[in-house]
Amino acid sequence: MTDAAALPGQPRGAVVSGPATRRAVNVLAPNASAMTLDGTNTWILSEPDSDLAVVVDPGPLDEGHLLRVRDTAERLGKRVALTLLTHGHADHAEGAGRFAELTGTPVRALDPALRLGGEGLSAGQVVEVGGLELRVVPTPGHTGDSLCFHLPADQAVLTGDTILGRGTTMVAHPDGRLGDYLDSLRRLRSLTVDDGVHTVLPGHGPVLEDAQGAVEFYLAHRAHRLAQVETAVETGYTTAAEVVAHVYADVDRSLWPAAELSVRAQLEYLSEHGLI
């Protein structure tokens, strides 16, 4: 058995519903899969002495899950006042409309198509609810509309799919772009260096105790994969599917469609930089 402290980002352990930091409580959605790991982490955030809460990523359109999120907040003595989305993928956002009906809350997101009864979100914006402060961090790359939320009081960052609690994420080409993603990882690294962020509250997988280690692992992984793809093209593999079969041969085949999206993003990046 591998010591969790030796793994990238120092994962806390099993993914469970319940408190993760002083201000963050997880409600795990029942949508586990190869792509979503243990399921979507829906985050309830609030100041300990406040009766108002923010929910980040209500998750899939699963009535039981959405009711559990609302009821968990109520058991904590909180009323959900706002819903935020890290990005528009269905496993994070599909339930937002129904959750808004259940709680009477607006939904705020970067993508105007995902907003309900509320304003949008922009880089550097500070969202305040019941004394809770969240800072909006633009992190495009996984998707064009991806955001992270910096929770300064807990020295934590909610990363959606930009950084996962286990494994690595995909760059969902063509909406996601590798250059943007690398810039986003560097932006998150600056949070760990300059703002003291040490905890990652991911959209999937366990909480990570070493945010800087996680970001450095992701940057190194991306550089390694990019070099592999460049070498594969030089060797004669010309299509994304051929590159996936060669470079990702040790990866579960069920993940190859997602890997192909990332390879397309890498091929685009290499072409744009004159490397292939």
- Which residues touch 138 (CB under 8 Å, ≥6 apart)? 110, 122, 123, 146, 147, 184, 187
Report the pLDDT value the prediction gives residue 7, as an integer from 0 to 100: 86
Report the pLDDT value the prediction gives residue 1, as an integer from 0 to 100: 38
CA-closest candidate to residue 24, choices 258, 199, 248: 199
d(CA 255, CA 232): 19
Q: What is the pLDDT along the chain (276 residues), one digit of tens a residue?
A: 346 767 899 999 899 999 999 999 999 999 999 999 999 999 999 999 999 999 999 999 999 999 999 999 999 999 999 999 999 999 999 999 999 999 999 999 999 999 999 789 999 999 999 999 999 999 999 999 999 999 999 999 999 999 999 999 999 999 999 999 999 999 999 999 999 999 999 999 999 999 999 999 999 999 999 999 999 999 999 899 999 999 999 889 999 999 999 999 999 999 999 988
DSSP 116: B
Report the pLDDT value the prediction gives residue 144, as an integer from 0 to 100: 98
Q: 179-191 burial string, b = 16+ CB within 10 Å, else e?
A: ebbbebbebbbeb
Report the pLDDT value the prediction gives residue 4, as an integer from 0 to 100: 72
Indicate the length of the chain as a whole number: 276
pTM of the model: 0.96
